[in-house]
């Protein structure tokens, strides 16, 4: 068995997701699942905010980057997030209220954009 090592980029992504999760938990959200993957895409975090199911895309950029974390989400990424969310929702007999949020981390600044991606 090969030892599992994360690349620098993967490690930074994991740290960003942990930062986002801690931030959202402080605001009362409850983790349902992390790193949901299907053939159509991936969702970084799935949480519950009261009765609402929240799909979260986490984006992280270094302080002073030319393109901010939130602005780095392009149309193709949005399509993959929406398709993965729809795939996840197939497990429910009746679709729960849900939304897609973004947690943008620019340097040490965390910004939570609720309902950032509308379906």
Rounded distance between C-alpha atoms, residue 58 and residue 55, angstroms: 10
Residue 48 and residue 101 in contact, taking contact as beta carbons nearer than 8 Å: no
Rounded distance between C-alpha atoms, residue 91 and residue 98, angstroms: 14
Is 2 a member of any domain?
A: no
Is 1 a member of any domain?
A: no
Is 3 a member of any domain?
A: no
Is 79 a member of any domain?
A: yes
Q: Where in the sequence is the domain holding 54, given as residue range(s)?
A: 8-117
pLDDT of residue 2: 47
Q: Which two tokens stand for residue 51?
A: 């009765």
pLDDT of residue 51: 95
Given a cut of 70, the residues of the chain with pLDDT beneath it are 1-6
Q: Determine which helix (DSSP H) or strand (DSSP E) holds 100, and give its type and residue range.
A: strand 98-106
CA pseudo-torsion sign 17, 114, 32, 90: negative
Name the domain count of the chain.
Answer: 1
1-25: pLDDT as tens digits? 445 666 777 777 788 899 999 999 9
CATH number at residue 108: 3.40.1350.10
pLDDT of residue 29: 98
Whether this prediction's pTM lies above 0.85 is answered by: yes
């Amino acid at each position: 068995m090969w030892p599992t090592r994360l690349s620098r980029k993967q490690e930074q992504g994991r740290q960003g997701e942990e930062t986002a999760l801690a931030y959202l938990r402080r605001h009362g959200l409850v983790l349902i699942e992390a790193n949901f993957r299907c053939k159509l895409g991936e969702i970084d975090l799935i949480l519950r905010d009261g009765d609402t199911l929240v799909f979260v895309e986490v984006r992280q950029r270094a302080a002073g980057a030319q393109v901010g974390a939130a602005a780095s989400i392009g149309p193709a990424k949005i399509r993959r997030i929406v398709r993965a969310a729809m795939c996840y929702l197939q497990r429910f007999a009746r679709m729960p209220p849900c939304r897609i949020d973004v947690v943008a981390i620019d340097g040490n600044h965390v910004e939570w954009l609720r309902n950032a991606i509308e379906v």
